[in-house]
Structure 1
């Protein structure tokens, strides 16, 4: 089915020209209180993401939280022992990597910018749910989910006031290890800070996936086209496109996690938008530990193509919404830098792209207008899921007990 232009492009493109193309990063709006006017507002929009250490001094804590999360890196019964051991051993090396990309991850900077600019567009697109207040909740780095939830309460959301908030995953493709883990953490803090009375707390809904949204697809495709334009005409059509996404342990894949299929759907949509102009493959990066992970690995794929004499390659981040260590260090410095061929390049990340920010506003607008608590897909548990935490979290965010 041919892809349409982003739905937000026609309705919000003028807004983006005024708002989305600023050269400096926006500051947060004043706190939104519950006496603000608006028939269905105010609305908190909470961006969920993994996060990253903003300074090298935060690396140790970041890794400790990451390796303690069995949703992301399942280590079995020895998680409490192996997690801290692995994080301590890896901290010096990871500190060096963050130092090499400027001393920290830019993911907080980009997340705060994207959420702030998106909410400005959303105020125009959906005045009935305005004002929209941007928040960021990271799983492993500041601002942590608990800190953000406390800020929501301080700003007047919740506490029996009938206020609403949208948990907006910044993982376009759903995985129990990423979006699922973030929602588990959000649900945990909801129970800790507001109790289990659903009639008194913040009224939550979830944007849990958006793998083929036209704005996402168009932004990625345009960035690929810009990079393809740097090759000589006679070589352009033979450039191999390598779409790279964060890998998953095979134990998670075999449980029935939808992530591989949804990433593949994004790749196919981008290639359809590009009219299948080039040969392409989907590859996987960032494997950790000795267990089996989803492959082929990005680094090995590049090595093997180079051995075959194919040195015109474009690496395309397909599951990341901004630059962070996986793009700036792993792809740029390790994979591309060590390959040593000028024909191996990377397409730009989404970052502050105004078309992408329009897409975020369009996704949020359609969600708010739909009245849905979450997608139908989120109600469906993985075939082999045995997690009680996942079960209760899904029941809460789905707003009903009839999970599929």
Structure 2
């Protein structure tokens, strides 16, 4: 059989697991969902009801589950079109379908080697290691249930700088610029947004050698922002000013988190005379609640209050190029696991990320077992 006709080889993997955060799908789900998210923190139920107003505003439904279903369909379609015979499952950390239930199903289906794609593209405790801890917890639960043969799980590398993640966002910025009034378009500022995290968590994000001011988390986002800004300049012939800013802070006021906040940034730009702003949510895979509320509702209202023209560019969501990037990530990891030489796709200055998280990578405040790393108890 010729190379052109040979089916792609995903071995040793026999399944892909799409691992996400989860979200409520009705008003009655909101508080139980938030209880799952904040378990162990002792937050009163009445306070959770207050926090849940963001969800109640949209009928108690987070868009994330629907968006994950769209991504599942896109992955299955892409795999089928390219002859990749690899079943795709979906599990969540905080809402149905729950991760433990899905891993139990996969074990019952005979899946023994599972590649895992987390819907978080960057290094951080909450965006990587916490998913790995959840995987370890789920495998421990299956072991306690007496599952005879636990599957091995391998988390795919960070994909923040993969062309299939970056290129759709470039097009999103160009479309948003085109949507602005023509007289302000050439002077628009780009506000690249991502989730704020405690500065201590940012400083220790990534492998130990990358720890420092902002750690891998900030460096990776800055690299993506530069890539997009450079691509927009190449396309439009105009160099637009840009800055990395943050949103969705949820911690105690006395704990330092990454700043500036997007709304504070909009006020600063308005005071400096910026004619318009495009918000670019590079830290998010899809248009879930934190994009829908923090940007489309809160930040957009702030811009209207200031009289500042604003647009918000799209996340990659279920873009076919992102689905193709996931296929690429699966196949490169599979080849590496087979001991073959691998050419890894990556744009920007940082190069492709690591396959296995090392000891000390994005450490937790209280150490817990984490799967899919050098120190995994489930090798």
For the criterion TM > 0.5, the same-fold answer is yes
- For 1:248-259, list aligned pairs within 5 A: 248-255=197-204, 256=211, 258-259=216-217
* Aligned partner of 2:323 among 341, 351, 357: 357
> What is the SS of the residue equivalent to 1:184?
helix
* Aligned partner of 2:103 among 137, 142, 149: 149
Distance 1:141 1:391, change over 3 A: closer
- State the distance in 1 between where 2:131 and 2:291 align: 21
* Aligned partner of 1:176 among 125, 137, 142: 125
1:394 aligns with 2:352: no
- State the distance in 2 between where 1:172 and 1:302 align: 25
Distance 1:211 1:52, change over 3 A: same
> What is the SS of the residue equivalent to 1:327?
helix
> What is the SS of the residue equivalent to 1:294?
coil
Distance 1:122 1:195, change over 3 A: farther
- State the distance in 2 between where 1:139 and 1:372 align: 30
Q: CA deviation at 1:186?
A: 0.8
1:284 aligns with 2:284: no
* Aligned partner of 1:190 among 139, 143, 149: 139
1:241–1:281: 8 Å Cα contact kept in structure 2? yes
- TM-score for both structures, normalised by structure 1: 0.76
* Aligned partner of 2:313 among 347, 353, 358: 347
- TM-score for both structures, normalised by structure 2: 0.80
Distance 1:104 1:203, change over 3 A: same
Q: CA deviation at 1:391?
A: 6.3
- State the distance in 1 between where 2:363 and 2:377 align: 20
2:91–2:97: 8 Å Cα contact kept in structure 1? yes
Q: CA deviation at 1:198?
A: 12
* Structure 1: tracts of 5 or more residues without a match: 1-10, 12-37, 69-79, 158-162
Q: CA deviation at 1:245?
A: 0.2
1:169–1:208: 8 Å Cα contact kept in structure 2? no
1:295 aligns with 2:267: no
2:191–2:245: 8 Å Cα contact kept in structure 1? yes
Aligned to 1:43: 14
Aligned to 1:67: 38
Aligned to 2:185: 236
- State the distance in 2 between where 1:172 and 1:372 align: 25
Aligned to 2:357: 378
Q: CA deviation at 1:139?
A: 1.5
> What is the SS of the residue equivalent to 2:115?
strand
* Aligned partner of 1:227 among 176, 198, 221: 176
Aligned to 1:17: none
Aligned to 2:286: 322
Q: Once superposed, what is the RMSD of the aligned Cα atoms?
A: 3.1
Aligned to 1:110: 67
Distance 1:237 1:182, change over 3 A: same
- State the distance in 2 between where 1:360 and 1:66 align: 27
Deviation string 1:164-211 (CA, Å, 9 cap, x unpaired) is: 211111111121222211111111111221469999421322203111
* Aligned partner of 1:92 among 29, 44, 49: 49
2:11–2:334: 8 Å Cα contact kept in structure 1? no
Deviation string 1:60-100 (CA, Å, 9 cap, x unpaired) is: 122222223xxxxxxxxxxx4xx2325x2433334332232
2:129–2:363: 8 Å Cα contact kept in structure 1? no
* Structure 2: tracts of 5 or more residues without a match: 205-210, 340-352
In the TM superposition, structure 1's runs of 4+ consecutive aligned residues that sit over 3 Å from their partners are 38-42, 123-127, 194-200, 254-257, 382-388, 390-393, 395-400
Deviation string 1:296-337 (CA, Å, 9 cap, x unpaired) is: 111111122123332400111111111111111111111112
- State the distance in 2 between where 1:100 and 1:230 align: 27
> What is the SS of the residue equivalent to 2:150?
coil
1:101 aligns with 2:58: yes
1:139–1:182: 8 Å Cα contact kept in structure 2? yes
1:335 aligns with 2:299: yes
- State the distance in 1 between where 2:300 and 2:35 align: 29
Q: CA deviation at 1:274?
A: 2.0
